[in-house]
Amino acid sequence: MQAGEPIEELKSAASTENEFGSVSADVKEENMPDAIEPASSVNGHGSDVASEGEVQQKGQVLPKQPELRVLHHKISGYVGFANLPKQWHRKSIRRGFSLNLLCVGQGGLGKSTLINTLFNKQLYDLEGKPTEDLAALKLEDSENLSESLERPQGEEQPSVKIETISTDIEENGVKLALTVVDAPGFGDAIDNTDSWVPIVREIDSRFDQYLDAENRIDRDVIQDHRIHACLYFIEPTGHCLAPLDLEFCKAVHQKCNLIPVIAKSDILTDEEIEQFKHTIKTQLDNAGVELFEPPQYSLDDKDTVARCAALCTRMPFAVVGSTSEVSTPDGRRVRGRSYPWGVIEVDNESHSDFVHLRDLLIRLYLMELREKTENVLFERYRSEKLMSLGIKQDNSVFKEYDPELKQKEEKQLHEAKLAKLEAEMKAVFQQKVNEKEKKLQKSEAELFARHKEMKDKLLKQLKALEDKKHQLEMSYANQSANSPAQTKKKGFLR
């Protein structure tokens, strides 16, 4: 651009440059003085252009200016897939989460209280439950007596029942569909043989429901009712696990994420709790029972790894549950239990393992519980179920399609088919040749036998004729010798 051109052309050129951007970063301007520096502004126009606008407003003529240097902006390398976690977060918030929790243990170990404490919601009505149980006991006492008299001697009434409570919990905009499965009556009978069988059937039935839903044609909405975690409540005896505890753990540890819990641990001292934990771990290890362990990832920091190791070492968790608030000696209001000798705080790590259980079950590793249920436990059950039905895996279905390899396989199959046909044709031809040879040999043998028979017959006939000729000759000789000789007559007439 020359200095004598009008200012309007200069403005149009600057606006065009601002609208469409630079053409190429490799364009270099020649014969440009070093004294002129590139100008920049917010809207992309140079300061010289702004001064020209001011000059135009004043009605002055611009002096000669050299060619302007074009400033090129490089495009950023940001693609955008770093926002995928945000997209997944929005999707998760919209859909919500679900947790199916199985609670198993003897009656009176505080299962309902602990569930209410974990989720900070009154899922179980603890105030009206004892009175209802007593009323039911009084009303049904005569009925149970009559039923027990009418029931056969060898038949026993099932004592273990399955009860389910479902509710929706929302916290800071995050929704959780919680389902708690309880087994009242477990371990409360005198003879608890096979009392874990109804619980195992319930777990398997939930797996079967999910498997049937996956095999349907319409799989738009599949509700997940599988058990994601099992809290097994251990009686705080301080000695060792009962045989019923071991049998139950061995029956369910490969079907759900097993998390043992020492209930009402406030009746034990710290030394007794540590010794009891060590005994429980030893018994479970000797029985081959696998407990849920938090996974560790390569991207975890040191604090996360240390927290994961701490959770593993504190299992089984010695917990205390309480939904009521009590006052501490320093005037704080906390959830806990008040005793004459002091206050036990539920949310205090030094008093119980409730915080660690909550971190493992909800705060830190809830999704890991669901993933292990999906990828490990359910897949194992699914494989065993299909194999029991006689369905075998065909690995050729899942091979990657390679045209060259496919052509080679087809060529090999074709060659094998041709070789098989050739072998079959050779076998048929050889069989026909052998049959023909046998037939010809048989015909030749028959001809030789017939020729020999005819030859023997002719020889017999020849010998008979010779004998007959000899006899005729002998008889003729004897006749000529016995008859007198006749005289020959002379003359015309004889």
What number is the average pLDDT over the span 429-444?
93
Residue boundaries of the structural domains of the chain = 7-58, 97-139+155-392
The whole-chain average pLDDT of the chain stands at 79
**H-helix or E-strand spanning residue 317:** strand 317-318
Of all residues in the chain, the percent with pLDDT exceeding 70 is 74
- Higher-confidence residue: 80 or 141? 80
110 Ramachandran zone, left/alpha/beta (phi>0; psi -120 to 50) = left
pLDDT class of 137 with cuts at 50, 70, 90: very low
pLDDT score recorded for residue 215? 85
- The pLDDT tens digits for 63-112 are 565 666 666 666 567 778 888 889 988 888 888 899 999 999 998 888 99
Look-up of token digits 């006689």: 390
DSSP letters, 259-299, are: EEEETTGGGS-HHHHHHHHHHHHHHHHHHTPPPP-----TT
Q: In what order do the strands lie in the sheet with 342-345?
A: 325-327, 333-339, 342-345
As assigned by CATH, the class of the 97-139+155-392 domain is: alpha beta
- The pLDDT tens digits for 376-406 are 999 999 998 888 888 777 666 655 667 788 8
CA pair distance 187, 249, nearest whole angstrom: 13
On the question of pLDDT at 149 being above 50, the answer is no
362 DSSP assignment: I
- The pLDDT tens digits for 196-230 are 999 999 999 999 999 998 888 888 788 889 999 99
Tell me the one-letter amino acid at 444: E
**Beta 333-339 vs 342-345: how paired, if at all?**
antiparallel
Cis previous bond, 484, omega within 30: no
What number is the average pLDDT over the span 176-181?
93
- Higher-confidence residue: 15 or 486? 486
pLDDT score recorded for residue 204? 93
pLDDT score recorded for residue 47? 43
On the question of pLDDT at 155 being above 90, the answer is no
pLDDT score recorded for residue 20? 39
On the question of pLDDT at 328 being above 80, the answer is yes
Classify 405 as helix, strand or coil. Answer: helix
- Higher-confidence residue: 473 or 81? 473
pLDDT score recorded for residue 360? 92
* Candidate from 35-49, 116-130, 257-271 with smallest mean pLDDT: 35-49
- The pLDDT tens digits for 284-306 are 999 999 999 888 888 888 988 99
Of all residues in the chain, the percent with pLDDT exceeding 90 is 40
- The pLDDT tens digits for 9-55 are 444 444 444 443 443 334 334 444 343 344 333 344 444 444 444 44
pLDDT score recorded for residue 325? 87
CA pair distance 347, 111, nearest whole angstrom: 17
Assigned token pair, 324:
């009521």
What number is the average pLDDT over the span 445-455?
93
Q: Could you tell me the sign of the dihedral formed by the alpha carbons of 198, 200, 201, 207, in that order?
A: positive
